[in-house]
Structure 1
């Protein structure tokens, strides 16, 4: 591959492009986004070439989905799959100061920013985003498209489901399971399993009850 294309003119794309520069990724760095108002402009210092469909033309470029929410990354990945996009073109962006022990694995398409710590036997899935200062301790598994915001800490053997979202500075007790598509609010402390699709907040974290009045 001779270049790198980020999908989405987002704040995450600014961060990912900064890491790509540090990594001295081979070839040009660019962004694609479906908003016509962004085409031909700079996002930070990175040019926005045009719509996402351009990816099918730039076949010699690596690709990273730089959309902040996991469900958005999953939607774009599905869209590209339907038009025959080669998943082998996805690459990971890992900040050069992040240490990856031999027992840990980061899959294709992941974005791992500065200060992230993986201790031992950690599995990070495809298109996962780990924001600055995230800590994943022994035996953690983070499934595809999940997003862990800045300062998140997971105790040992925590499992984070597909496209789950964990807010800034949240903490999760060891052995806890977070279901697919679930959301844990920023600053929350999760002490028990969080079911799929639910949103929990607080210390200790409890589910948000929609439509309940006191």
Structure 2
């Protein structure tokens, strides 16, 4: 996938990381698209913020990628657009050949993904996050500096905050949040927020 011309959707902090990952991996970033008019005409790495997302078409680039940190927003934008999605791995990350990476997923610098793990679409495996063997990571998950132990899973839209750990075989439910520094020793219910060591529910799922 080298030398693809890729547009980045978003022009905030995470978009900068995504663009730097693309550049490090040898791709060309043709521009940023963001709905904040105050960003239009500005530059990131000497690359222009061209305009709103509505201006991005398949003629603007060969592929696109989402530089949006919010899982909910990333899903909404992905479902609205009919584009070819790029998948990118930073050259200072390590992903075993026996790993499946979905469309639009970003593996950042220092991250590790071990064999026979399955990573969904539009996932963020952020700086120094790690996924051990036989894990399953659903679409739109964001792993900050977190660790999934062997056989663990994070369902669609889950957010694993800085320093969080998921024990072997434990499942983090869809759209759940594992707080910073938390240790999940048992399954986390969907759409709940847990924190602590061991992690306990601090916010119930909405009714």
TM-score above 0.5: yes
Match of 2:66 in 1: 65
- Give 1:110 shift: 0.5
Candidates 182, 186, 210, aligned match of 2:180: 186
User: Measured at CA, do residues 3 and 209 of structure 1 come closer, stay the same or move farther in structure 2, by a change above 3 Å?
Assistant: closer
- Give 1:176 shift: 0.5
Contact 1:17 1:29 (8 Å CA) reproduced: no
Q: How does 1:91-106 map to 2 (within 5 A)?
A: 91-106=86-101
Q: Which moved more, 1:91-100 or 1:31-40?
A: 91-100
Q: How many angstroms apart in 2 are the aligned matches of 1:61 and 1:180?
A: 31
Q: How many angstroms apart in 2 are the aligned matches of 1:209 and 1:42?
A: 39
Match of 1:165 in 2: 159
Q: How many angstroms apart in 1 are the aligned matches of 2:36 and 2:203?
A: 35
Contact 1:6 1:65 (8 Å CA) reproduced: yes
User: Measured at CA, do residues 116 and 2 of structure 1 come closer, stay the same or move farther in structure 2, by a change above 3 Å?
Assistant: closer
Match of 2:12 in 1: 10
Q: How does 1:1-214 map to 2 (within 5 A)?
A: 3-26=5-28, 28-56=29-57, 58-80=59-81, 85-86=82-83, 89-150=84-145, 152-209=146-203
TM-score normalized by the length of structure 2: 0.92
Give the 3-state SS of the residue equivalent to 1:208 in structure 2. Answer: strand
Q: Which moved more, 1:129-138 or 1:94-103?
A: 94-103
Contact 1:7 1:32 (8 Å CA) reproduced: yes
Q: How many residues align?
A: 202
Over 6 Å off, 4+ runs: none
Contact 2:132 2:151 (8 Å CA) reproduced: yes
TM-score normalized by the length of structure 1: 0.89
**Deviation string for 1:56-88 (max 9, x for gaps)?**
2635431001100111100101222xxxx14xx
**Deviation string for 1:159-184 (max 9, x for gaps)?**
10101100001011000011111000
TM-align CA RMSD: 1.6
- Give 1:98 shift: 2.0
List gaps (5 residues or longer) in structure 2.
none
List gaps (5 residues or longer) in structure 1.
none
Give the 3-state SS of the residue equivalent to 1:56 in structure 2. Answer: coil
Q: How many angstroms apart in 1 are the aligned matches of 2:85 and 2:202?
A: 36
